[in-house]
Structures are given as structure tokens and as C-alpha cells.
């Protein structure tokens, strides 16, 4: 596409919106800095009321024809969309590494292939949605999954490409048209997604991108009564605001929110394996919603476990995310570094003990040391609140009952990890109240599986059939098996 306005690491990327198949510039912009070295990457268009309006109108206009194509008609477009994402793999890796600080190696090996799969998988599985029939004694129920209309998609900065495609895939495959509002701290890969969609020939208006801040652009978008769905991933305070805006218009919304997930190490766990996995919780500088950030370790093995984990943590390679060898990169924004440092300082002032870390890391201004705090009470702020940085807590327990009580002892309920002898670990995992939990493993995901949290970690599930249920209007066309006789006494 024409009109590239930024040059990031030699890659041309538009800083403008993408509305109705065209780039649209704004009279207002916001600056974008790299978390690696704070250099100015450029200025990005701020979505004003007129842009939100144009995008919604374009999506509304494009909806009937896109919906009428049916899943089979849409699939070739979406397969080409996935192909075009693949053709831009190098650019996408560089852009998200530069604007979000995500490891280049992780982008290449995990995120970009997953982004392609997010589009391809749902395009394929949408074919199965059509014409399900439920037979009962009285009737055939033709259960249709009809596209709902215009969908607003709002994503956070810690995984913009992955999360945007995770929502776009099912929303588009089931026949909706979309307006995506990317995160203002990491907007570039979503802009390149628009190029991929354009090159794939997606009809104008089917997929629109409006850049901008949450408080301004995002708030205008989610308050619009013409939306059929809102799919949001982000923080609890924003979700509460969005739920109110959506509620005012009775627009269904899916909310994938933060976590304070337990990482339970039972007495019969393989300590080395649990320690190797434990060190992964510092991935993306701890800015991972599903990380197990509260370590709960059986008292009898706690000392051995701490030393095993320490050995892995000491070996972590902290540095520039663009370097192949780097394992932990920067935090997204100076405000996030400040927030993390304040959390740790307050915890220490209130009596917590540092096992390691606890200060900024010398590599750069937005780096913080992998940190572990212990000597904590369950009610402590650092145990209860999501920090979203490389800061973990460690508490010990003496019985499974106590482990479960502590694991369940926060308002969050996203995920969890449980290490122990397999049967034992499953039994404990089953009692932990979260949307998902990994037994003797971490991070295994499949697009067919449900994903989402309970309690303050979210409302609704996405993934597989759950995504389709959310993005579709389910309708029962009831066809009687015997001729119907009208009667007032009939139920
Ligand atoms: P955030 O809530 O501040 O922002 C998320 C998105 O919402 C951004 O695009 C932002 O611009 C937008 N936004 C902000 N205010 C808005 C408003 N009033 N109306 C509409 N949109 C608005 O979250 P963040 O700081 O970008 O991301 C970190 C949070 O996301 C953490 O809590 C993390 O746990 C969570 N997260 C959850 C998952 C999950 O799948 N459960 C995945 C990744 C991140």
C-alpha cells in the first residue's frame, strides 16, 4: 500500500488509520517511542470522532456483502490474508520488537506463525458452523450461526499482533466486519496487518484500523450503539469502563483481563523441571497475563526449590530484544517501570524480603531486574494485585488444602500452573478456581481450546467454538415434523 509515513529499522509502515480500504491521516498525532532505547519512532494518527464514525459506517456498509459470502466464500480471502501476513513476517517481527520490546526470536518462532494460524484456523473451522440440525420428536431445529454485524476489537500492548489476529480470525470468518483499535504504546504491527488485508483483497470496510488512545479513540468506539459486539483484552479498570459503555447500549462484550495466577509446586514435584518452567515467568519482562506470578511452594522443598529457580534466573540473558540470545527485554513504557518499582518498594517497606532483584537493571532505562519477594501475607498488595512486570512472589504451604486456599485467595482467576506427581497435581489443579491451569507444563495452547478467566480475570471465553458462539447470532429455525394445528390450548 502507498503512503508509508514511518521508517522503523528500515521498514516502511503507515502511521495512519485504515478505513474503508484507504489510509486516512488525522490532524492530531501522538508520539511513539521505542522501549529499547526510548528513541522516537515517529508520530501516529490519533483517532478522532470523525474517524471512529467513518470506520463504523464503512464496516456497516461492507457487512451485508461480506456476510452473504458465507464461510466458504470468505475462506479464500482469509487464506490470502494469512499468506500476506506471512510475506510480511520479517517486517512484523522488527516492528513489534521495536515498538513493544517483544523478543525478535519469539516474534519469528511464535507470534507471527500464530498470527497466520489465527486467521487460517478460524476460516477453516467456520465452514463447520453452517447448517447444524438438532432433531427432536416434534421438529427439526436448524441451528444457524449468523454473523452479528460490526465488531469492535480492542487490544493491549503486550501482544498486539497475536491478540488482534486471535479476535479478527473468528470475527471475520463468521462474517462480521471489524474496527480494530490497537494499543497506543505498540500500534505498528496492527498497521501492517491492514496492509496485509489490503493486499489480500479484503473488500473495503471489512477490516478497519483506527489508531489512538484508549481514553479518546477507544472510548468513542466502544460507546457506539451501532456495534454488534465488543471484544476486549486489557486491564480490569478499562474493562469496567467498557462494560458500562457496552451495557448502556446492551452490546455483548467479551473481556479477557489480567491475572495473578498461582504457580504451585507440590512436595512430590520434579524440582528441576518446576524451576526451569518457573524462570519462564520472566518472559516478556513479566508482561504476560497468563504467567504464574505467585509461587506457592511446599514448605519441605522450599529451600531446594528456591535455589534451583535462582540458578535458572541467574542465567537469564537480559538485553536488547533484537538480539537472538536475549531472553528478557525491556518494559513497555517509563510509566510501567515506575509502577513496577513502586510496587516492589512498597512491598519491601511493608516487610517483604527480596530473594533476588528489586531494582532497575543496568541494561537500559526501561529494564527492571527479575525479582522475587517472600515473607508475605496473603492480604499484601503485592500478593493481591497484578504487577505486570518481572516481579514474582513466593509463599510456602504445608498441606494441599492450604495450597488451594492460597491459590484461590485473590480476586483474579485467569490461569495457573501446578507441578507435582501427575495424579496428585491434577487433583490439586482441579480445585483451583481459574479459567485454565497447566499441569507440569506451561503455555500449551490450542486454538480449539477455550481461553478466558473467571472472577476479575474476565467475562466470557474465546477460542474454538467459544469464539464463534460469541461472534455469531445463534438462531433456531424450527420446522415441525407433523403438520402444525393451531390451538389456543397448545403450549
Ligand atoms: P489497558 O486496559 O490499559 O489497555 C488495553 C486497550 O484498551 C488499549 O488498546 C487501550 O488503548 C484501550 N483502552 C483504554 N481505555 C479505554 C477506554 N476507556 N475505552 C476503550 N478502550 C480503552 O491494558 P494494557 O495496559 O494495554 O494491557 C495490560 C493488561 O492487559 C494487563 O492487565 C494484562 O493482564 C491484560 N492482558 C490480558 C490478556 C488475556 O488474554 N486475559 C492478554 C494480554 C493482556
Question: What does the pLDDT look like over 226-281, one tens digit per residue?
Answer: 999 999 999 999 999 999 999 999 999 999 999 999 999 999 999 999 999 999 99
Whether the CB-CB separation of 328 and 291 falls below 8 Å is answered with no
> Which of 161, 235, 443 is the best mutation target for the ligand 1 pocket, counting ligand atoms within 8 Å of the beta carbon and taking the most?
235
- Residue whose CA is closest, atom 10 of ligand 1? 214
Question: CATH says 6-257+457-476 is which class?
Answer: alpha beta
The structure's pTM equals 0.96
Based on its alpha-carbon atoms, the radius of gyration of the chain, rounded to whole angstroms, reads 24
Distance between Cα 62 and ligand 1 center (Å):
28
* 472 labelled catalytic: no
State pLDDT tens for residues 364-422.
Answer: 999 999 999 999 999 999 999 999 999 999 999 999 999 999 999 999 999 999 999 99
Give the pLDDT of residue 243. 98
State pLDDT tens for residues 166-177.
Answer: 999 999 999 999
Give the pLDDT of residue 129. 82
Q: Which residues pair with 154 in a beta bridge?
A: 181, 232
Give the pLDDT of residue 132. 84
For residue 51, count CB atoms less than 10 angstroms from its CB and return exposed for 0-12, middle for 13-18, buried for 19 or more. buried
Helix (H, G, I), strand (E, B) or coil at 253: strand
- Residue whose CA is closest, atom 33 of ligand 1? 258
Give the pLDDT of residue 1. 42
181 Cα nearest atom in ligand 1 = 9
Question: Would you list the DSSP string of 287-352?
Answer: --TT-EEEEEEEGGGHHHHHHHHHHHHHT--BS-TTSTT-SB---S-HHHHHHHHHHHHHHHHTT-
Q: What is the mean pLDDT of the chain?
A: 97
Name residues whose C-beta falls within 8 Å of residue 121's C-beta, 6 or more positions apart in sequence. Answer: 169, 447
Give the pLDDT of residue 490. 66
User: Which grid cell is 402?
Assistant: 492450604
Q: Which of 93, 178, 190, 289 is catalytic?
A: 289
User: Can you tell me the distance from the alpha carbon of 214 to that of 181, in angstroms, rounded to the nearest whole number?
Assistant: 8
Please report, for residues 39, 43, 419, the alpha-carbon distance to residue 184 in angstroms, rounded to integers and kept in the order given: 16, 11, 37
pLDDT higher than threshold 90 for residue 491? no
Name residues whose C-beta falls within 8 Å of residue 459's C-beta, 6 or more positions apart in sequence. Answer: 243, 253, 254, 255, 452
Give the pLDDT of residue 2. 39
Whether the CB-CB separation of 43 and 183 falls below 8 Å is answered with no
Distance between Cα 256 and ligand 1 center (Å):
9
State pLDDT tens for residues 294-320.
Answer: 999 999 999 999 999 999 999 999 999
Whether the CB-CB separation of 76 and 202 falls below 8 Å is answered with no
Identical fold between 6-257+457-476 and 261-439: no
491 vs 204, which has greater pLDDT?
Answer: 204
The pocket around ligand 1, CB under 6 angstroms, is made up of 154-159, 181, 183-184, 213-215, 218-219, 222, 233-235, 238, 241-242, 256-259, 289, 386, 388, 414, 453, 458
* 289 labelled catalytic: yes
Domain ranges for the chain, please list them: 6-257+457-476, 261-439
Distance between Cα 122 and ligand 1 center (Å):
24
Whether the CB-CB separation of 284 and 111 falls below 8 Å is answered with no
Whether the CB-CB separation of 404 and 427 falls below 8 Å is answered with no
pLDDT higher than threshold 70 for residue 13? yes
Q: Which of 84, 91, 256, 386 is catalytic?
A: 256
Neighbours of 139 (CB within 10 A): 16
Residue range 449-455: mean pLDDT, rounded? 97
State pLDDT tens for residues 75-110.
Answer: 999 999 999 999 999 999 999 999 999 999 999 999
Nearest to 293 by CA among 260, 267, 264: 260
Q: Which CATH superfamily is domain 261-439 in?
A: Aldehyde Dehydrogenase; Chain A, domain 2 (3.40.309.10)
Amino acid at each position: 500500500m502507498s503512503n508509508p509515513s514511518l521508517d522503523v529499522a528500515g521498514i516502511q509502515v503507515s502511521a495512519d488509520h485504515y478505513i474503508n480500504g484507504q489510509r486516512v491521516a488525522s490532524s492530531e498525532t501522538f508520539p511513539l517511542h521505542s522501549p529499547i532505547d526510548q528513541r522516537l519512532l515517529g508520530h501516529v494518527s490519533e483517532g478522532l470522532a470523525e474517524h471512529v464514525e467513518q470506520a463504523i459506517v464503512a464496516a456497516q456498509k461492507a457487512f451485508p456483502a461480506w456476510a452473504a459470502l458465507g464461510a466458504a466464500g470468505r475462506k479464500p480471502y482469509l487464506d490470502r490474508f494469512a499468506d500476506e501476513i506471512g510475506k510480511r513476517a520479517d517486517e512484523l517481527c522488527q516492528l513489534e520488537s521495536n515498538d513493544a520490546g517483544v523478543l525478535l526470536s519469539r516474534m519469528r518462532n511464535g507470534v507471527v506463525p500464530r498470527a497466520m494460524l489465527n486467521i487460517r484456523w478460524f476460516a477453516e473451522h467456520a465452514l463447520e458452523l453452517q447448517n447444524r440440525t438438532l432433531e427432536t420428536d416434534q421438529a427439526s431445529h436448524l441451528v444457524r450461526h449468523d454473523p452479528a454485524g460490526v465488531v469492535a476489537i480492542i487490544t493491549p500492548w503486550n501482544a498486539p499482533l497475536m491478540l488482534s489476529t486471535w479476535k479478527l480470525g473468528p470475527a471475520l470468518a463468521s462474517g462480521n466486519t471489524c474496527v480494530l483499535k490497537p494499543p497506543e504504546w505498540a500500534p505498528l504491527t496492527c498497521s501492517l496487518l491492514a496492509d496485509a488485508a489490503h493486499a489480500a483483497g479484503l473488500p473495503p470496510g471489512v477490516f478497519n484500523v483506527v489508531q489512538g488512545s484508549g481514553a479518546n479513540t477507544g472510548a468513542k468506539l466502544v460507546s457506539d450503539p451501532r456495534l454488534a459486539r465488543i471484544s476486549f483484552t486489557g486491564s480490569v479498570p478499562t474493562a469496567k469502563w467498557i462494560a458500562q459503555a457496552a451495557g448502556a447500549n446492551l452490546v455483548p462484550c467479551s473481556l479477557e483481563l489480567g491475572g495473578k495466577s498461582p504457580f504451585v509446586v507440590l512436595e512430590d514435584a520434579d524440582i528441576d523441571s518446576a524451576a526451569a518452567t518457573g524462570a519462564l515467568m520472566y518472559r516478556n519482562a513479566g508482561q504476560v497475563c497468563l504467567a504464574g506470578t505467585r509461587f506457592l511452594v511446599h514448605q519441605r522443598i522450599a529451600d531446594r526449590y528456591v535455589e534451583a529457580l535462582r540458578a535458572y534466573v541467574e542465567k537469564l540473558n537480559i538485553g536488547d530484544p533484537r538480539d537472538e540470545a536475549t531472553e528478557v527485554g525491556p518494559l513497555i513504557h517509563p510509566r510501567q517501570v515506575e509502577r513496577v518499582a513502586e510496587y516492589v518498594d512498597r512491598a519491601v517497606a511493608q516487610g517483604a524480603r527480596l530473594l533476588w532483584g528489586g531494582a532497575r537493571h543496568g541494561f537500559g532505562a526501561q529494564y527492571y531486574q527479575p525479582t522475587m519477594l517472600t515473607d508475605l501475607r496473603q492480604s499484601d498488595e503485592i500478593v493481591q494485585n497484578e504487577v505486570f512486570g518481572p516481579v514474582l512472589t513466593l509463599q510456602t504451604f504445608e498441606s494441599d488444602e492450604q495450597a488451594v486456599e492460597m491459590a484461590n485467595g485473590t480476586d483474579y482467576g485467569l490461569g495457573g500452573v501446578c507441578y507435582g506427581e501427575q495424579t496428585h497435581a491434577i487433583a490439586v489443579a482441579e480445585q483451583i478456581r481459574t479459567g485454565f491451569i497447566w499441569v507440569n507444563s506451561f503455555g500449551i495452547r490450542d486454538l480449539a481450546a477455550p481461553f478466558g478467566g473467571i472472577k476479575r480475570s474476565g467475562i466470557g471465553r474465546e477460542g474454538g467454538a467459544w469464539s464463534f458462539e460469541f461472534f455469531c447470532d445463534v438462531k433456531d429455525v424450527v420446522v415441525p415434523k407433523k403438520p402444525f394445528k393451531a390451538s389456543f390450548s397448545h403450549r
